[in-house]
Chains A and B, each alone.
Chain A
């Protein structure tokens, strides 16, 4: 359809619209269904986008950082740490390697043991933070070399717990998109039913219109326009309420973790605006098909 046809369709043939008596029930049903579906779609969309972001971020950040833990008798700890740092500096693909200071290690342990833990008295392992370059380093090669030269070192590249998290975030994203598909399908089904009920209720009107020479296109158009506009309006209201709900959620924070990241970012805010349009398209197709099959059965 060209731009002009769409405009003409929406502005419509005011005369054709009056041919079909207004019906309170199917109008309210269509408005409500489109509104509810659009509302839910906003959240499904927010969920998909947020879990997508999370999956990407986890996969990216965790892949770049690793931790080397050195446990050794207190006499050898400093020496082993030095050797390890030297090895790391020589390893291609390691962007930086840094031994955590005593204060930093204390901060990491604080949530478990409190602040006044006498770290000096305990055999706390030394942690070294490794940031990988792009492309990264050869994990197996590094592990091998460390095991011979720094016996107390254990390399943890986070793969173990990264993979299930990324997989979970990805399947959450997939579930979000499946939900959006199902919401669209359910909306199409409901609008088909509403349109069929409206067509059946107006069988007499349709018959009279046919008798005075109306073409199917004219009659179907009156119904299709009506349902499409209702779906557009309902979906627009649903999207506004849904987006307000998303806006009111607390901003993303470290404490809230995943849950507070549930929202839109940047251009993502524009995506929900597509929902009413898609809702209108769904209603258009559903009503058109319903009208076509109903009209075929009449003389």
Chain B
């Protein structure tokens, strides 16, 4: 679904990533690890077209990112659910609207989607926070909301950038369960995280591949993890 082929990226200085090749196939489950500042978030952005590679090609749903016009890019993003590291909410809208945002901007009938929305909010334990504004939420609540928003369109690919950074162990297990369940339905999942406990827990349930960024390159980590 998403393929990076010999991708290099630089923000203008030296190369941050070089020769990165990876393929997120339907039903695959990947973890992305690496020290802070190694380029995990950058790699994620390359996957959903927020950044274009400085060398190599990124393909998503069988089309080169470079050849997509702005409307095609928007349509593609509706098929990729992203949990951003900094969540990215609209602070003037209540939480329920923020979670439903992808539905609204793609013209779904909110009347029909209400049950779906309620169920999802229930799943991430935010039912009683539906009317709260994002700045009033705790870090953990924001991350759960961000995951709910990423999933509401039932995307083909889920990219989660450190989705459990601020949640307690029990909640991180619940979020993982949700992602595992989606993965079983055939969705490709990529989670950037350095939470080894989370990675181990996932490996007990799924054939997860662990990718590590070091020295600007992407390596497949050993099975020892």
Q: Please report A residues at the B interface, Cβ cutoff 8 Å.
A: 15-16, 18-19, 21, 205, 207-218, 295-296, 299
User: With A and B bound together, what is the CA distance between A215 and B110 in angstroms?
Assistant: 18
Is B200 in contact with chain A by the CB < 8 A criterion? no
Task: Kindly report which residue of chain B lies nearest to residue A298, judged by CB atoms.
Answer: B70
A205 lies within 8 A of B90 (CB) = yes
Q: Quick check: is B71 within 8 A (CB to CB) of the other chain?
A: yes
User: What is the number of contacts between chain A and chain B, taking CB atoms within 8 Å?
Assistant: 62
Flag whether B75 is at the interface (Cβ < 8 A).
yes
Pairwise interchain contact B50-A214, C-beta atoms closer than 8 A: no
- Interface 9-residue window, one of B4-12, B101-109, B167-175, B186-194: B101-109
Known contacts being A18-B97, A205-B90, A299-B50, is A211 close to B104, with CB within 8 Å?
no
Report the Cα distance A15→B70, complex, angstroms. Answer: 22
> In the complex, are the beta carbons of B105 and A19 less than 8 A apart?
yes
Chain B residues near A209 (CB, 8 Å)?
90, 101, 105
Nearest residue in A to B49 (C-beta to C-beta)?
Answer: A299
Q: Would you call B77 an interface residue if the criterion is a C-beta within 8 Å of the partner chain's C-beta atoms? A: yes
| CB pairs A–B below 8 angstroms (18 shown) | A15-B104, A15-B110, A18-B97, A19-B90, A208-B90, A210-B74, A210-B77, A211-B48, A211-B84, A212-B77, A213-B74, A213-B102, A215-B75, A216-B74, A218-B105, A218-B107, A296-B70, A299-B51
- Interface on chain A toward B: helix, strand, loop, or mixed SS? helix
Q: Which residues of A contact B71 (CB under 8 A)?
A: 215-217
- On whether the beta carbons of B70 and A213 are closer than 8 Å, the reply is no
A212 contacts B70, CB within 8 Å? no
A209 to B181, CA, bound (A): 27
Question: Measured between alpha carbons, how far is A216 from B75 in the docked complex, in Å?
Answer: 11
Whether B78 sits at the interface, judged by CB under 8 Å, is yes
Task: Answer yes or no: B93 CB below 8 A from chain A CBs.
Answer: yes
18 further interface pairs, Cβ-Cβ under 8 Å (given A211-B77, A212-B149, A299-B51): A15-B104, A18-B97, A19-B90, A19-B93, A21-B90, A21-B92, A208-B88, A208-B89, A208-B90, A209-B101, A210-B77, A212-B77, A212-B101, A214-B106, A215-B75, A216-B71, A216-B74, A295-B70
- B51-79 vs A: 1/0 string, CB under 8 Å? 10000000000000000001100111110
